[in-house]
Structure 1
């Protein structure tokens, strides 16, 4: 079995990508090439440094609304489905990102529309009003969802005044103030070369590659956006409790300061996340759901971030079991390394490697990983190194990384 997994790993890694060149255009755009001639498609993915970290409570949700309206207002969206392609944009904590994927043979038909969308974004007033209302309805729905409400409450509690505590969709108060001029100005400010990393992955000719470069080279350079990481670390233990009389079960989140994506302990904490809360074989599942019968849902999350992230344990359970669950999770977090075996560690790593490698086989995912790791400061080619690092993680490295559980934490309870 182990031999079969290893063969699959080698096969997937060997066909994943041909590392191409990386250049910096005169306007500051970082341009990455990933040639994969055995495919019949190509993807252009770009990241803009600064997602919700650009926002404040006053304009929270502006990036999310722009991303939606910008794409929907474009002529490209009207044309691309006919050719079997797709285009989209979204905003996360650290980046705004956009993807453009097409069959390579239709490049000439579609690239003019992509160029127009990127260089001369037009915001349709009707689409703006429609999507603004949609976003407000989404916020209301989130307020009515215990899962969404509790997660937003936890993020606000654990990050306090840092922008990571903001929701990408914003608030009813902030979104209600947005005007067409706000969206247009946001587009001008964010589509600037100094903050953009673009990756082209798939099958393309040299001429097509140069055309994509020429499109991005026309963007204004602008000023580099610097992410302020101050305030992203938990300084002291904090417990926040929110109440909902209509709630059928309590929601519990426990969060610890976790490494940013460029930290040496980042891969090891990713593995710890799977050991403790990665599925039905995880420590949380076996004790809290299988043995104690507490949880309908239980797990762990560790988002990849430029600033300090969070290791998050989460569980839905009866209010009467919350205190014991807190004690149980803290004990497992601190003590799991004492009986972690090489066999269990190897099984978790193999599961992770298979999941990551299968997920990364599309052109768009290859381009996404290149952009992400470049912006994390590790270099666009780091993906292959990341896989190798995961394979070699030892019990000693897991023990070192688990020290995060001996530092201050945030507990959020919705009951």
Structure 2
């Protein structure tokens, strides 16, 4: 969430930056600043009324002590009026603060200067590409056919149990899933991230804290009786562990990783491009989250990109990195890099990770601050990334490593799997 003072001080810059997203925020900014002026004016009236009431209360007490009961009683009528006025001002202030907050919730984060202008994924910039795309034998199959051939993923059984988008992993397919999770966590903890196991449901405050609410409310599964949400990513519970905290500058950076299942309704997702593992309602993902000093967050983002690059090199998968344009940038992010692995059998790129810097956008919602060396409380910067999302990584492995004899296992995963071939 943006800060009002930043909107006031940087209005022209913010308007130009939001234009990269295709957003004209001029009227919204006008409404925000007007609501803030009303808030400040109402707060001043409330403060003055309360101050006058306190002065009168002391005066009344002194009059009673001096035996001037009639004068004290006369003043009590005035204090009653002031109390009623303060209640009215207080109610008005609460309404104004809520209106201001709801306005701020509608404004996405300000794109970083590196973010290219554009309207959709076609305008994203490729910043890096590595790995040779393998030439497959005749008869090569997409992963959903390989899964059936080798009996490692049962999509129909998932439909029977729950519905479409909830696959059942079997035998070596399940073991490969577990191997990927363990490998990703080991890579992250070796790099200095502390591992956490977190709840898979969160409350409304957590959803608002990281920006999933109200922006993505329709994409989250809601447990109505308990007013809880199934998590769309570990980013939500992991980052919210620090909601409301005041850290010391010496505490920074904070590095966290965690594995969770993720749940997304993915409403309106149909067609061949979402077949098999390409888009699911439940999937596994390992996440990394960083809480950084503002001066270091973009260097940290580069470090996260390098970390995920190293993982994909070890998996020996062809991949590329994209810098997202304004129109494809997530609501809460200021700068995002997407990793995509090439699916040889499908002849297209599949997104397998997003790495984002949110700067102070989430921290302001979370009220997550640190005390600097001068004793001032400042907002931290938050970052997160998939490290990695399993379904499309698994799809890439199955398709790119297929041979006439079976599916080879990447060398780095063999110790985790206990086998080197699915046949």
- Structure with greater contact order relative to length (CA < 8 Å, sep ≥ 6): 1
Larger radius of gyration: 2
TM-score (norm 1): 0.23
In the superposition, the TM-score normalised over structure 2's length comes to 0.23
